Amino acid sequence: MAVRFGRPRSVLGMRSVAGQVFLLQVVIVVLLVAAAMTALVLESRDASEREARNRSVAVAQTLANSPGMQEALASDDPTAQLQPRAEGAREGSDVDFVVVLAPDGTRYTHPIKDRIGKKFVGDLDRARAGETHTEKITGTIGPLVQAVVPVMDDRGRVVGMVSAGITIKRVSGVVEEQLPLLFGSAVAVLLLATGGTALVTNRLRRQTHGLGPIEMTRMYEHHDAVLHSVREGVLIVSDEGRLLLANDEARRLLDLPPDFDGTPVSRLGLEPGIATLLGSGRVASDEVLPVGGRMLAVNQRKTEAADGPAGTVTTLRDSTELRALTGRADIARERLELLFDASTEIGTTLDVGRTCEEFAEFAATRFADLVTVDLIEAVLRGEEPAGAAYDPQMRRTAIRGSLDEGGDAGVDGWQGVHAGGYPLGSLIRFLPTTPMGAGLSEGKAVLEADLRSFGGWHEQSPERARELVERGAHSMIAVPLRARGVILGVAMLWRGGDSAPFEPDDLSPAEELAARATVAIDNARRYSREHTMAVTLQRSLLPRGLPEQNALDAAYRYRPAQASQGGLGGVGGDWFDIIPLPGARVALVVGDVVGHGLHAAATMGRLRTAVHNFSSLDLPPDELLWHLDELVTRIDLAESDDGTGLRSGGTDSGPDAAVTGATCIYAIYDPVTRRCTMARAGHHQPAILRPDGTAEFAEVPGGPPLGLGGMPFETLELDLPVGSTLVLYTDGLVEERRRDIDEGLDKLRETLAGHPDRTPEGICESLLGALLPVRPKDDVALLVGRTKALDSDRVASWEVPSDPSEVARVRSEAVRKLAEWGLEEEAFVTELILSELVTNSIRYAAGPVGVRLIRDRQLICEVSDDSSTSPHLRQAAMTDEGGRGLFLVAQLAERWGTRYTEAGKVIWTEQPLPGN
């Protein structure tokens, strides 16, 4: 029951829209059910054949696509696996037969087993081509329909087929048997449809509130009045592009003709933008389009999305004032994007000049036509500008862009087309009387909106100013580069040609752009200062040349890491040394301290000094590395607060990191015996190039890196023929991020092999060229030494029995040998030295004494014995009978000392030779 104006009304009273709809729907449902039943009876026979086709195809496809079908067809006995499945499918689907076939038509299965293995009767060509097909045939069991479905593998090849068939009689019988059920279903459908109609009618009654046709008309009139009174345009366009409805606001905004109803949108004379949108039917959200001097915000949606007829509904809103506000917001957004992009593109390196170039390139591309950057010279040197006042004298550091149309954005665009400006690298002094000079002194940006008025800016250089204007410059902004209250320089931004002149609103983004660049420039300046200090320290700690010695022909190379690769680039902990030792021997050292920067350089200097000190004691390589390891351990403990090797507040990778991790290799070569003794602490194996051109790595026993402590070091002794080349290097030569360490070592060996005629200098160049990238990420120290030998006629040796009477014989033989060498002037001193040293050895040692004279750059006297007691120099008292011999030796010889061997010790002296 519905209530209208206080009177109850029946839904079936047929006077409401709901009642009329209910009666109409019931009649339609009855007619449809009756027609359907009639058609079902008439078409039952045709449906029987279709049912046969559908069922046979369904059964065949189901079995063909069942899991394991491909594996069963590929098995050794497909029939054993497929016969049960085929029979099960036949019995479960109520078809007459289900047969699995080979690609050639041979049956794998059949309800009658004696027909298995025989050829299938029917058309198989389409199935072999990968298609499913059905055919109607008359077989032994009567007219039937059979379907053949291919079985394909993963590559799309037909590996078998499945055929299913059913007689038409069986299907017809099934349909006839189901007719009562179908009639019952029709009755049920009629009842359900009637009930559904009642529900729909009830819903319609609730939605229309029981209104009749007249009342519905009245409601539409009210709705139409409201639609045309709103201040937002509404359009409805059909799916054919015809305008069906437009309210008064839409007519006003689009200036539509009065007879628009049903007119295609393309013929309404609308502006292209709105006409294209209305005709396209696409969805739009708040798109702003210009129409007749207005900016309209347009929204468009499809009507069928709301269960309406096909077409679109469009709303129009006049947003001219809102667009102006949006324009200002867009400008702000663009400026924010400009500053964000500047922060990512400016300051990518820690180089002052390159940072200025990046700023000039960015500003000339995104903000101005021509950009110049001038810096105070102290900033270019990495120094701190003095005080807050600026230095009016600056160096032009970067120029980018051009005032001419299509000009190159590089330096050539300025120097070639615009030669009247200050060239790159020129020194400029800004006059304090000009607006630019005054702005710099106050640290404020200066805007010259009209350069052609020559309002004082031209006084800096009138001739250049005229040429700038002739070239097309019309506006300029000069921005001081100020960091921490100190003026570092000035950036000048110019516009010319057709570009819009600078306005006061451009001052703010120009200042912020310059501020970001200034921070990057100041960071680069401070880095340059620290880098210069670190490089100076490192260069003072590395060898500045090779010492004079006759044991080796040597060459070296040191390559710092590039600054952009992290740390302080160019300042690392790699070092090398060649140290002359007594007895014409020489020590070769290469070491590596992990990390870069001042700490690594300082640590390298300490280790290098320690190696020099330990080598002066003439220690064997393994013992020297042991002492160096102890020293590193003590350094780490001394510089830590808790004894762990890490400083308080620091980490093991920071600038205060411990030394642990340093590596070193130490080798001693004796040109007399041609023997080389080596030991290493965590370092790479040295390479040896033999005189025959073969290259190999010396199997020096590995030791732990310095600072770990507790592990002994072992030595390797090699006899090196004359002309052999010893190559010592740090890991930066063979290790590279994109290359495995073994590949680097193999390449080093390949580069060395086959070129024994190369000089040490040539070997250094070839190794660096073959192994180092353009921008190495780690320091490289390389030391190459080619062995030489002292001729036998420059060495004399004697074995002296433990008898004091033998001292005189040794002296006379030594004097005779010196005469052969033409060193008669050294005979007297040599006699005294040998007499004292041999006498002491005979007195204090038990076994025989060895004497050796070596003529090298100095005259070397060596006395060896089996005692491990070293003589000590002391000041003898007036009453002492002895104790003055060693003091005399120290006064006569240039240097003297003691080194220990496995058999005892050797006391040596060196005397300068004439001409050396």
564: DSSP letter: G
Segment 330-344, tens digit of pLDDT = 666 777 787 788 888
Residue 712: the pLDDT is 86
Query: At residue 407, what are phi and psi to the nearest 5 degrees?
Result: -70, 155
Alpha-carbon torsion, ordered 768, 774, 776, 781, to 10 deg: 20
Identify the CA nearest to 762 among candidates 725, 721, 720. Answer: 725
Paired with 906 in beta bridges are 864, 899
- Mean of the pLDDT values across residues 368-374? 91
Checking if the pLDDT of 525 tops 50, the result is yes
Could you tell me which residues are beta bridge partners of residue 907? 863, 898
For the segment 797-815, the average pLDDT, to the nearest whole number, is 89
Statement: residue 206 has pLDDT above 50: yes
- For residue 728, list its beta bridge partners: 783
Confidence grade of residue 235 (pLDDT, cut at 50, 70, 90) = confident
pLDDT confidence of residue 10: 46
- pLDDT single digits (tens) 419-466: 346 888 888 888 887 887 888 878 888 898 888 888 888 888 888 888
Q: What is the pLDDT of residues 548-593, one digit of tens each?
A: 888 999 999 988 876 544 444 557 788 999 999 998 999 999 999 8
Structural contact between residues 402 and 408, judged by C-beta atoms closer than 8 angstroms: yes
* Cβ-contact 909, 889 below 8 angstroms: yes
Q: What DSSP letter does each residue of 378-423 carry, written as one string?
A: HHHTTPPPSSSSPPSEEEEEEEEE-SSTT--SSHHHHHHH-TTSPP
Q: Are the C-beta atoms of 103 and 161 separated by less than 8 Å?
A: yes
Helix (H, G, I), strand (E, B) or coil at 13: helix
Contact criterion met (CB below 8 Å) for 16 and 109: no
In the predicted structure, residue 881 carries a pLDDT above the cut 60? no
The C-alpha torsion from 113 through 118 and 121 to 124, rounded to 10°, is: 120
Pair 298, 316: CB distance under 8 Å: yes
User: What is the band of 660 on the pLDDT scale with cuts at 50, 70, 90?
Assistant: low
Rounded to an integer, what distance in angstroms lies between the CA atom of residue 271 and that of residue 290? 8
> Residue 373's pLDDT band (boundaries 50, 70, 90)?
very high
Count CA atoms closer than 13 A to 203's CA, side-chain side: 5
* Tokens 């140290």 -> residue: 579
Res 722: pLDDT? 94
CA nearest to 193, candidates 29, 369, 373: 29
- How confident is the model at residue 661, as a pLDDT? 73
pLDDT for 438 equals 82
> What was the pLDDT predicted at 42?
66
**Which structure tokens are listed for 864?**
């060896």
Highest-confidence range of 54-68, 74-88, 186-200, 469-483, by mean pLDDT? 469-483
- Predicted TM-score (pTM) of the model is 0.55
- Which of 43-52, 79-88, 535-544, 903-912 shows the highest mean pLDDT? 903-912
Residue 681 is encoded by which pair of tokens? 């602490």
**Span 600-628, mean pLDDT?**
90
Residue-level pLDDT at 307: 65
398 has a pLDDT exceeding 50: yes
Residue 270 pLDDT more than 60? yes
| Choice among 13-17, 750-754, 809-813 with the minimum mean pLDDT | 13-17
pLDDT band at 406 (very low <50, low <70, confident <90, very high): very low
Closest CA to 476 of 492, 455, 464: 492
Report the run of H or E that residue 290 belongs to, with start and end. strand 284-291
| Confidence label for 211 from pLDDT (cuts 50, 70 and 90) | low
> Environment class of residue 396 by beta-carbon count within 10 Å: exposed (0-12), middle (13-18) or buried (19+)?
buried
Write out pLDDT tens, residues 89-145.
888 877 888 888 888 888 889 888 888 888 888 888 888 888 888 888 877 777 888
Q: Is 70 exceeded by the pLDDT of residue 16?
A: no
Comparing 243 with 324, the larger pLDDT belongs to: 243
Q: Strands 904-912, 895-901: parallel, antiparallel or unpaired by DSSP?
A: antiparallel
Task: Report the candidate in 542, 539, 668 with the shortest Cα–Cα distance to residue 614.
Answer: 668
Cα 909 to Cα 853, 877, 891: the distances in Å are 10, 25, 11
Most confident of 79-93, 221-235, 642-656: 79-93
348-368 pLDDT per residue, tens: 888 888 999 999 999 898 888
Counting residues of the chain whose pLDDT is more than 90, the rounded percentage is 21
Contact between 399 and 360 under an 8 Å Cβ cutoff? The reply is yes
What is the phi/psi pair of residue 77, to 5°?
Answer: -130, 80
**Residue 668: how many other CB atoms lie within 10 Å:** 26
pLDDT of amino acid 5: 38
| Across 68-88, average pLDDT | 84
Categorize the per-residue pLDDT at 417 as very low, low, confident or very high, splitting at 50, 70 and 90. Answer: very low
- pLDDT at position 324: 56
Confidence of residue 82 (pLDDT cuts 50, 70, 90): confident
Task: Give the span between the Cα atoms of 330 and 741, in whole angstroms.
Answer: 54
CA atoms within 13 A on the CB side of 568: 25
Tokens of 558: 């040191």
Q: Which ranges of 161-264 would DSSP assign to H, the alpha helix?
A: 168-177, 179-208, 213-229, 248-254
Give the residue carrying structure tokens 């010396």. Answer: 698
Q: Please determine, for residue 768, whether its predicted confidence score (pLDDT) is greater than 90.
A: yes
Cα-to-chain-centroid distance, residue 285: 39
Specify the pLDDT at position 387. Answer: 56
pLDDT of residue 884: 62
| Choice between 769 and 46, residue whose per-residue pLDDT is larger | 769
What would the mean pLDDT of 261-278 be, rounded to a whole number?
85
Residue 163 neighbours by CB under 8 Å, 6+ apart: 60, 97, 98, 99, 101, 120, 122, 146, 147, 148, 149
DSSP-derived secondary structure for 637-682:
HHT-SSSSS--TT--TTSTT--STTBEEEEEEEETTTTEEEEEEES
Q: Are 497 and 405 in contact (CB under 8 A)?
A: yes
